[in-house]
């Protein structure tokens, strides 16, 4: 789907002197397969402000007063002089030769203080006095004492590490493009001129004379993190060495080595490139099923970002983008592994991604639209973590209703060019759009799945005497199962079209998440006294489960996470199918034959199944109709026991 026309031509059409249709993406960019490069730039008009003559005269008078004060002022105090006889520092205790004077703006001392800091409190006192008493404030940059760390990164060692695994520039460009095409609009950022300003002159030609060695080493680290991701998305497994079966592993290890060298002098290394390298290393670590390492790497990136102050006052569009990348990664790891959030929304004072670049041009592109939409989903993820998976005084139904409303608003507000035709989508041009909708389905599932778990536990506790649940439970369970089914079909289409990231963690985790719901739904549906109606054929659900298991089995060749997910799902199926469980509940779930391969007809119908959207508007209406009394459906004891003991 294309966005409405704009009056300007895109950059690609301008460069190639082609007639531009003014859409996003335009017809020409779509035809040549460069939709992500279809960017429109227009100069932001300068604003003129009308001022009165009185205002100008007042400024002139103020300038004259300041000049007179400057002319009559005495010489400033020296650094060792005291005020009213009180020494600033004791020269007997501290030698000025031991400390370096560092401006407050440097990375060591510019701590980007929050309101709880004593130094920030002192600054506010000073500002209040200056403002109230009309005192001329000292605008000079204050100096602080600091000790310079004697250790420094070994230039020879860093160069040796880089030279050992640096590929040809042709391969590097190909792998970086692969990473950018796969997650460049979601979980990665690369400047449009990266190849011409960093890759060729700095990484390969060694023309980084204008950079400090630490900045150069940071760019090297970011470069290898791009390569690790690119190899993961473009290469399949190797039949040679066992370690080479995981593509990009050598570059991932290189990133960790370089980061280790740089962290030895961490008081001087914080910069945006190093922050990014930690995030991308975390993404790769997930594919190795190293969730704890991924969480540590994301935490390092966020703490470094705090030190740079990107969470309060990013000065460029790039810094803004890096902050929101940290925000997305924090939510990505926290919601999938139940880790605490590192970044609290209350600490954030950053606007959404700006569309005006440093040169004053207004930019519109698909990549920006995708990323802004992912940021909005990350904010909703925060709401899910805080309200659905954290004890609070508000009922689950109210929280669930609020989250589903936010998800509906997100979907309704999507730009037209991000609406996905689920029955006919072009993967090559819309993988980032598919990523958006997969994440959207995932959030619906994790929001509503406590209701399915509630039904499951009530069934286990109640046995044959289980009472039929209220209509609102049926609505939430239906939504959860429908989202899981839809998710499975979309992922199957990705795999069939060869567009699934076989070595990546996220796609496998989405399959894992959806399959858990389908297994639980099939078990509940198989019970002869089941009071829940899932409006689906049991054999069809079991076929879908088996298809997902077979898919994970195939991906296990390249992906440790897929192998572990497949094992966990197989174990729970074996438990549900066991004689002990089936004999207690007189179920028919044992008819599920593990590891059977669906026949070709079933496989084809599964892969090309027609998709229907989840109508959250109808779901919200049904919730309102079923809960008109406003009473909480789950009592506190039941809900917290059923929702938090497993998920």
Count CA atoms within 13 Å of residue 60 on its CB side. Answer: 6
The two beta strands, 39-43 and 100-103, are unpaired
Section 555-560 average pLDDT: 86
Section 42-65 average pLDDT: 69
Give me the percent of the chain exceeding a pLDDT of 90: 30
pLDDT band at 575, cuts 50/70/90?
Answer: confident
User: Considering only 36-45, 89-98, 169-178, 440-449, which range has the smallest mean pLDDT?
Assistant: 89-98
pLDDT band at 98, cuts 50/70/90?
Answer: very low
Model pLDDT, residue 334: 93
**Does residue 517 or residue 103 have the better pLDDT?**
517
Global pTM value: 0.80
For residue 228, pLDDT beyond 90: yes
Section 49-70 average pLDDT: 71
For residue 73, pLDDT beyond 80: no
Q: Calculate the CA 405 to chain-centre distance.
A: 22
Place of tokens 């239906």: 478
Model pLDDT, residue 33: 79
Model pLDDT, residue 576: 85
What is the dotted CATH code of the domain comprising 11-43? 4.10.240
Q: Calculate the CA 473 to chain-centre distance.
A: 31
Phi then psi for residue 466, to 5 deg, are: -60, 130
Beta carbons of 519 and 568 less than 8 angstroms apart: no
Taking the CA atoms of 591, 594, 598 and 599 in sequence, report the sign of the dihedral they define: negative
What is d(CA 412, CA 336) in angstroms, rounded to the nearest whole number? 26
Beta carbons of 275 and 320 less than 8 angstroms apart: no
Model pLDDT, residue 422: 73
Model pLDDT, residue 570: 92
Give the pLDDT confidence of 341-355 residue by residue, as tens digits: 999 888 887 877 665
Section 587-606 average pLDDT: 52
Model pLDDT, residue 75: 45
H helices within 361-504, ranges in order? 366-387, 396-412, 427-462, 471-496
Section 388-397 average pLDDT: 81
Residue 120 DSSP SS3 = helix
Q: How many CB atoms lie within 10 A of CB 533?
A: 12
User: Considering only 83-92, 261-270, 382-391, 443-452, which range has the smallest mean pLDDT?
Assistant: 83-92
What is d(CA 314, CA 386) in angstroms, rounded to the nearest whole number? 26
Structure-block tokens of residue 32? 């040549």
Model pLDDT, residue 105: 41
Give the pLDDT confidence of 463-489 residue by residue, as tens digits: 555 556 667 888 899 899 999 999 999
Beta carbons of 594 and 581 less than 8 angstroms apart: no
What is d(CA 40, CA 21) in angstroms, rounded to the nearest whole number? 12
Q: How many CB atoms lie within 10 A of CB 426?
A: 15
What is d(CA 125, CA 3) in angstroms, rounded to the nearest whole number? 51
What is d(CA 534, CA 525) in angstroms, rounded to the nearest whole number? 7
Residue 511 DSSP SS3 = helix
Give the pLDDT confidence of 362-372 residue by residue, as tens digits: 667 788 888 99
**Does residue 424 or residue 20 have the better pLDDT?**
20
The enclosing H or E element of 41 equals strand 39-43
For residue 300, pLDDT beyond 90: yes
Model pLDDT, residue 111: 52
List the chain domain ranges. Answer: 11-43, 155-351, 393-636
Phi then psi for residue 633, to 5 deg, are: -75, -40
Give the pLDDT confidence of 307-329 residue by residue, as tens digits: 888 888 788 888 999 999 999 99
Output b/e per residue, 511-529; b: 16+ Cβ within 10 A. bbbbbbbbbbbbbbbbbee
């Amino acid at each position: 789907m294309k966005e409405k026309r704009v009056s300007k031509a895109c950059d690609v059409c301008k460069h190639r002197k082609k007639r531009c249709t003014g859409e996003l993406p335009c017809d020409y960019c779509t035809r040549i397969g460069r939709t992500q490069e279809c960017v429109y730039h227009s100069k932001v008009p300068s604003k003129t402000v009308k001022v009165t003559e009185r205002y100008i005269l007042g400024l002139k008078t103020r300038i004259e007063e300041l000049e007179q004060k400057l002319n009559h002022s005495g010489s400033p105090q020296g650094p060792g002089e005291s005020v009213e006889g009180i020494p600033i520092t004791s020269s007997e205790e501290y030698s000025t030769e031991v400390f370096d004077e560092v401006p407050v703006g440097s990375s060591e001392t510019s701590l980007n203080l929050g309101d709880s800091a004593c130094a920030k409190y002192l600054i506010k006192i000073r500002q209040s006095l200056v403002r109230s008493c009309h005192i001329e404030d000292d605008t000079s940059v204050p100096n602080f004492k600091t000790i310079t760390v004697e250790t420094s990164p070994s230039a020879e060692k860093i160069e040796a590490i880089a030279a050992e695994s640096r590929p040809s520039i042709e391969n590097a460009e190909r792998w970086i493009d692969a990473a950018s095409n796969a997650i460049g609009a979601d979980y990665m950022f690369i400047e449009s001129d990266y190849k011409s300003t960093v890759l060729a002159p700095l990484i390969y030609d060694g023309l980084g004379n204008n950079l400090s060695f630490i900045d150069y080493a940071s760019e090297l680290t970011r470069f290898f993190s791009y390569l690790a991701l690119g190899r993961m998305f473009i290469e399949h497994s190797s039949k040679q060495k066992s370690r080479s079966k995981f593509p990009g592993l050598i570059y991932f290890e290189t990133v960790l080595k370089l980061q280790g060298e740089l962290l030895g002098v961490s008081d001087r290394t914080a910069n945006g490139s190093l922050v990014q390298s930690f995030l991308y290393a975390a993404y790769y670590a997930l594919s190795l099923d190293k969730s704890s390492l991924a969480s540590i790497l994301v935490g390092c990136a966020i703490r470094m970002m705090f030190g740079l102050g990107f969470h309060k006052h990013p000065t460029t569009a790039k810094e803004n983008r890096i902050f929101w990348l940290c925000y997305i990664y924090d939510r990505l790891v926290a919601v999938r592994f139940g880790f605490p959030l590192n970044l609290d929304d209350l600490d954030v004072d950053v606007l959404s991604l700006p569309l005006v670049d440093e040169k004053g041009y207004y930019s519109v592109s698909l990549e920006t639209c995708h990323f802004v939409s992912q940021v909005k989903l990350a904010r909703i993820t925060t709401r899910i973590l805080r309200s659905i998976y954290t004890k609070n005084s508000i009922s689950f139904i109210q929280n669930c209703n609020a989250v589903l409303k936010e998800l509906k608003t997100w979907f309704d507000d999507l730009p037209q060019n991000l609406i996905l035709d689920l029955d006919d989508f072009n993967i090559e041009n819309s993988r980032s759009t598919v990523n958006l909708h997969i994440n959207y389905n995932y959030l619906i599932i994790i929001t509503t799945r406590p209701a399915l778990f509630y039904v499951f536990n009530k069934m286990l506790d109640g046995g044959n005497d289980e009472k039929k649940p209220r209509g609102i439970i049926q609505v939430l369970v239906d939504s959860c199962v429908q989202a899981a089914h839809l998710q499975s079909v979309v992922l199957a289409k990705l795999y069939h079209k060869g567009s699934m990231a076989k070595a990546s963690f996220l796609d496998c985790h989405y399959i894992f998440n959806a399959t858990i719901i389908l297994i639980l739904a099939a078990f509940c549906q198989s019970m002869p006294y089941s009071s829940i109606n899932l409006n689906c054929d049991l054999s069809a659900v079991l076929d879908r489960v088996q298809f997902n298991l077979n898919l994970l089995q195939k991906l296990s060749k390249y992906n440790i996470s897929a192998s572990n997910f497949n094992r966990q799902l197989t174990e729970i199926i074996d438990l549900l199918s066991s004689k002990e469980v089936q004999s207690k509940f007189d179920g028919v779930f044992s008819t599920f034959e593990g590891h059977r391969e669906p026949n070709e007809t079933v496989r084809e119908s599964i892969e090309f199944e027609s998709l229907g959207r989840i109508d959250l508007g109808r779901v919200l209406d049904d919730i309102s109709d079923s809960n008109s009394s406003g009473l909480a459906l789950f009592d506190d004891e039941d809900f917290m026991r059923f929702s938090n003991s497993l998920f």
